């Protein structure tokens, strides 16, 4: 099996690997290099991936990553036993791709006045949600405002929501965990961009002319909707609605009708799947124009979630168990179980064998590289009290889905 480094059409030939997975991050990390993210530092000395020390003389806004120009960090990749290519990005590289490609920052990772992207904040929240939850693009694009946790509050910690089987691949209904930083981004989008387009669409009465609408008449009962058609009226459970039906789903609120779908475009209507695919194409083109040798696609962010979460959970798994009493340990195992199995459940994999490829990916990396993969501000689900996370069993009525098998 032969591998080439992503980001270069020819790429250095890395030779053959006899293991099931062969990974290289030779062009991303060098042994002994300091590759930790740098944010909000002035005059900080940073060792780039080329092994040269550079001085960062510009103050970077909180949450951004100041990146030296020669730190061309390609994604790592490998193949599983079926020949499928597995791509993923270290957290630092993902944030650089997001800031430059999605937010429109300059190639150095800093904001620029030249960018006039109307939906940069929304799109960044979308990509952040994907890389922090592992949802597939088809799943994430169909979630409802009544499903996604978007009320930030002040308690912090992870929030979770139930992904119905009708929009989950293979009917893999499951709990999806969203870190607090992701909830903050969703909250901002709902309060600002989403509210603005909904208000304008209401003023133009766009929601009143939707053919065969499905309406949630009482926002206090978000799982119950009324479907109308030639058959008359029928009450349906929202969780049984297929993706196409969700596009016609409205909420009747005190302010008027609005789409139940979470992600909306400028017209106030739900965004098509093709729009989100175009997001990655546009972001990659912007990175290329800025001289940033990074590219991403939706499934790459899903792989990134799997690799980084597995590394994060493995680091403290045994230590966490050792600090608990018997009852706490039993509850912990019910929630998290083995780190690989926890990631499997988050991804919606039916078989553990599908998920274990990410474990093999980590085992191929040098320890210095693994320690640099997950930055300190990458929230850990275990930091949220187990009483808040709850059990893994489906919610009441969660088994109503007629998920595709």
From the list 3, 147, 101, the residue with the least C-alpha distance to 301 is 101
- Residue 391 has a pLDDT of 74
In 290-325, alpha helices (H): 298-322
Q: How many CB atoms lie within 10 A of CB 235?
A: 9
Percent of the chain with pLDDT over 70: 71
Residue 79: pLDDT band (50, 70, 90) is very low
- Residue 84 has a pLDDT of 58
Helix (H) or strand (E) holding 93: helix 91-97
DSSP type of residue 51: S
Distance CA 294, CA 315 (A): 28
Ranking 157-171, 286-300, 377-391 by mean pLDDT, the lowest is 377-391
pLDDT above 80 for 394: yes
CB 102 within 8 A of CB 301: no
> What's the residue count for the chain?
405
Q: Region 83-98: what's the mean pLDDT?
A: 86
Distance CA 306, CA 324 (A): 26
Distance CA 69, CA 292 (A): 8
- Residue 379 has a pLDDT of 87
- Residue 325 has a pLDDT of 72
Q: Measuring CA to CA, how many Å separate 382 from each of 148, 230, 337?
A: 20, 50, 12
3-state secondary structure of 326: helix
Helix (H) or strand (E) holding 353: helix 352-363
- Residue 15 has a pLDDT of 28
Ranking 7-16, 98-107, 146-155, 184-193 by mean pLDDT, the lowest is 7-16
Helix (H) or strand (E) holding 258: strand 256-259
pLDDT above 50 for 56: no
Q: Region 162-183: what's the mean pLDDT?
A: 95
Question: pTM above the 0.85 mark?
Answer: no
DSSP type of residue 54: E
Percent of the chain with pLDDT over 90: 49
pLDDT above 50 for 287: yes
Q: What would the two tokens of residue 96 be?
A: 């650089």
- Residue 300 has a pLDDT of 95
Distance CA 302, CA 320 (A): 26
């Amino acid at each position: 099996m032969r591998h080439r480094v992503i980001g270069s059409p020819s790429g250095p030939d890395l030779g053959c690997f006899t293991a099931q997975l062969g990974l290289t991050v030779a062009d991303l990390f060098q042994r002994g290099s300091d590759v930790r993210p740098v944010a909000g530092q002035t005059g900080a000395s940073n060792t780039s991936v080329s092994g040269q020390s550079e001085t960062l003389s510009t103050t970077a806004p909180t949450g951004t990553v100041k990146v030296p120009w020669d730190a061309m960090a390609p994604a790592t990749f490998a193949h599983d036993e079926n020949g499928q290519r597995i791509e993923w990005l270290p957290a630092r590289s993902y944030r650089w791709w997001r800031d430059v490609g999605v937010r429109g920052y300059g190639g150095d990772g800093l904001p620029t006045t030249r960018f006039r992207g109307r939906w940069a904040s929304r799109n960044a929240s979308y990509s952040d949600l994907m890389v922090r939850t592992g949802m597939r693009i088809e799943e994430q694009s169909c979630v409802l405002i009544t499903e996604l946790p978007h009320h930030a509050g002040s308690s912090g910690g992870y929030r979770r929501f139930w992904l119905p089987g009708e929009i989950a691949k293979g009917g893999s209904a499951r709990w999806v965990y969203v870190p607090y930083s992701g909830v903050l981004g969703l909250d901002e989008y709902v309060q600002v961009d989403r509210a603005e387009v909904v208000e304008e669409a209401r003023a133009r009465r766009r929601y009143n002319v939707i053919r065969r609408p499905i309406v949630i008449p009482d926002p206090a009962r978000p799982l119950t909707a009324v479907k109308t058609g030639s058959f008359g009226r029928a009450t349906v459970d929202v969780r049984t609605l297929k993706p196409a039906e969700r596009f016609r789903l409205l909420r009747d609120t005190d302010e008027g009708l609005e789409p139940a779908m979470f992600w909306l475009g400028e017209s106030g209507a739900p965004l098509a799947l093709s729009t989100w695919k175009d997001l990655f194409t546009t972001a990659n083109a912007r990175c290329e124009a800025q001289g940033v040798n990074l590219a991403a696609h939706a499934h790459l962010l899903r792989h990134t979630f799997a690799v980084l979460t597995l590394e994060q959970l493995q680091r403290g798994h045994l230590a966490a168990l050792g600090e608990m009493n018997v009852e706490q340990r039993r509850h912990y195992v019910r929630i998290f179980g083995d780190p690989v199995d926890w990631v499997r459940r988050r991804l919606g994999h039916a078989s553990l064998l599908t998920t274990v490829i990410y474990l093999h990916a980590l085992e191929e990396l040098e320890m210095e590289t693994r320690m640099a993969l997950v930055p300190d501000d990458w929230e850990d689900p275990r930091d949220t009290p187990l009483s808040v996370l709850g059990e893994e069993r489906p919610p009441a009525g969660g088994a109503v889905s007629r998920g595709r098998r």
